[in-house]
Structure 1
Amino acid sequence: MFTLVSLLCAPLLENALQEVKVVDETGAANSTELLIQAAFDINPDALTVVFQPAGDTPNLNAQAKINATLASIRSLPEVASIVTPAERPEYISSNGQTQYSVINLKSTSAEAIDQIEQIIDRDKVSASQNAEPTLKIYLTGKPAIDRAVQNYQQLYADPAQIPLPKVAAAFNQLTHRATTLVIVKSKTAQQSDATRNLVRDFRSANLEDLKIQVAGQTASELDVVAAIERRFPLVLGLIMVATFFAASCSVLRSVWP
């Protein structure tokens, strides 16, 4: 995922973010993209829908829900076919919990991917409203990531103006991790107030399942300022003690014969 996101996003986010890097802290063994490319032999350029259990409790109705979601996706006019584990048994993980299906589109359009995302979101909402054990369902592969990049391009050119909920939604589309480290570098002038505010906003943001680290010159400068502010009371105290000691010595010299 790190390589794929870096290669795809860095040049395409020209008008918004200079660079986006995603690091999976759980390790490469748990990287869905690596599983897709290696164990499941799925082309990373393919549009792939992934179904994973949402928790430790087995969902006895999971397959019925998966079939219903796939049926809804298959009914879309832009969908040519879907290759499921019924045709490719290797698309099921060794523990039988995770499975993948490759969606073949008649034309890779943003509208088609948006329609698929809407079906997935609808099924998630329905499951949560019925208090059912939910499945983690999401799209991956180059078409899905390209669409996430397009979402960025439709936002403001100045990254300081990007609404944080939009950023969170786009990162969630790219990562789908329980814990993810996201490094964002602003394209605006390093010394601008907009960039400083962007750094502060990202650091103070409470984004579910995401830990955000902002790197770069401005972030480092703010770290130095914060360190000085934290140490200022101690430094001020030392200065006052030193001043008092110097003044006391001066007084003693003047009165001591």
Structure 2
Amino acid sequence: MTAERAVYSNWGRWGSDDERGAANLLGGEVVLDACRLPTKGRVYNLGIEVRQGAPVAGRRISPVHLMASDGGDYAALGREDWGTADDYLFLASGGTTHIDGLSHLWYGGRMYNGFSFREVRSSGAARCGIEKVGGLVARGHLLDFTTFPTKRPGLIGTADVTAYVAARGLKVQPGDALLFRTGWIETALGGTLQEASCPVVASDAVEWIAEHDIAIVGADNPAVEAVAERGVLPPLHQILLRDLGVYIIELLTLAEPARDGVTTGMLVVAPLLISRGVNGPVNPLLIV
């Protein structure tokens, strides 16, 4: 990608100082529309457990969970009638199930809305920090490509999304979220991962995403798209985050709602309010 004007762009759409991108699509009426979807009161956790050895995105390390005090410690007073336990957690903000902030990526010296990459320094992101996102409530559509053939082996493109939406009768509206199930997370957790056996979202799917004003794109793998070579920016990330301000959620677990036949539900995503953070750990909820 170059610094030239992108084919798809939301720069300036919500003002020259906007730092929230497609989150602006999730206004009051869109949120209320999503809230009307649940009819069963069933809540699905879409995040993976935060633990040592769980799948992580990219070259990040596994979470480290340490106890500060416990039932066997002198600090806990060694009492049986009452006591307290406390713990610490060290993890990559983009390691476990997480949402990519709009300051996570840039090219041509610019990140979303034209802000300079120099706004992201060792002290964090002065622009487009994850704390600017706030809570996201949207209509979430589960697209299960473990059971739906694609035109190109291993790639989910615009034609495939079009065919899936038509086959399942999904009604997609501006501000909606697309959640792609590829089967990656189940095979990774089961220790039988074969990358080639799980499809990824192709860069040309951005055509469908942009034309339908999608606000959030998520998947049950570490990058949504194919993992790029070292030193190469993944193209879908470039267009979604930098050009469109569309949020990406990685390492979702979608098997349970898929098994229950869920196609659309109320999606709730609340990133940790990490000041000047570039990513946010999340446990998204899909409510039906």
Normalised by the shorter chain, which TM-score bucket?
under 0.3
TM-score between both structures, scaled by the size of structure 2:
0.25
- Looking at CA atoms only, which structure, 1 or 2, has the larger radius of gyration? 1
Structure with a larger share of its residues in helix: 1
- Compare relative contact order (CA 8 Å, sep 6+) and give the higher one, 1 or 2: 2
TM-score between both structures, scaled by the size of structure 1:
0.27
